[in-house]
Amino acid sequence: MAKKIESPCVSICQLKGDLCIGCGRTMEEIRHWKAMKRPEKMKTVKRAEERLKKLPRD
């Protein structure tokens, strides 16, 4: 069996609109993380990484 997908949370937890600027997840994704199955978690992590790349850095 494959390894558990760890939460992408980096304990910054700052929201900008509906998006956490620490991990790149939406509030909906954060709320449902524990209930997600492995494939959904993998997709969520990939989407979050892409969002973080697009965020302007101050």
In tens, the pLDDT along 15-50 reads 999 999 999 999 999 999 999 999 999 999 999 999
Residue 2, pLDDT score: 62
CB 33 within 8 A of CB 7: yes
When pLDDT is averaged across residues 6-21 and rounded to a whole number, the result is: 93
Q: Which parts of 1-58 are beta strand (E)?
A: 15-16, 19-20
Residues recorded for the chain: 58
The C-alpha atoms of residue 13 and residue 19 are separated, in whole angstroms, by: 10
The C-alpha atoms of residue 11 and residue 22 are separated, in whole angstroms, by: 7
pTM of the predicted structure, to 2 decimals:
0.87
Residue 56, pLDDT score: 81
Residue 10, pLDDT score: 94
Q: Considering only CA atoms, which of 11, 21, 15 is closest in space to residue 54?
A: 21
Asked whether residue 1 carries a pLDDT value surpassing 60, the answer given is: no
